[in-house]
Amino acid sequence: MSGVITQNVDMLHLKAGSRRIVDLHGTYGVVTCLGCGHRRSRWALHDDLDALNPGFAERVASRGAIEVAPDADAVLADTADFRMVDCPECGGVLKPDIVYFGENVPAARVAAAHELVDASDVVVVIGSSLTVRSGYRFVRRAVSTGKQVAVINRGRTRAHDEADLAIDGDCVDVLRLTDAAL
């Protein structure tokens, strides 16, 4: 496997040991400034927020469970006394380095994903319906450049008609069978 292009923002591919990863929609592990584009670790921001809001995390935790969304945002009822950290470079507003609905995928990420597709022999889509155009475009690129495409997904995907191989099934089960066969 030469690399992974993922639409997930949860860093699971990195945690699983993949090293060449294009996080197409970004990752919750990085924050970026809306003003100047400065990027920094979300954990460094966390340390700064803790210093600026001493005891806040403990107070919130003592009031019950914190609901955490898939993009790592936390749903909190009481934030009245919370103070936010500004960009250390320009004082601008920081946000998770995640492409939200309506935003464009940065051109550099698209280019990195195109390079990965172009350098591959086969593009394998695993566990995605490819409903979102930002992921589907790489199947289109693979097909247009003569690459083979395989799809493993529970249910039909947007790429089924273009795929050389489509397997309808649970990704984990299919990949375990593939691993066992090797």
Instruction: List residues with catalytic annotation.
Output: 25
Give the 3-state secondary structure of the chain: CCCEEECCCCCHHHHCCCCCEEECCEEEEEEEECCCCCEEEHHHHHHHHHHHCCCHHHHHHHCCCCEECCCCCEECCCCCCCCCCCCCCCCCCEEEEECCCCCCCCHHHHHHHHHHHHCCCEEEEECCCCCCHHHHHHHHHHHHCCCEEEEEECCCCCCCCCCCEEEECCHHHHHHHHHHHC
Cβ atoms 9, 28 nearer than 8 A: yes
- Type of residue found at 97: D
Cβ atoms 159, 144 nearer than 8 A: no
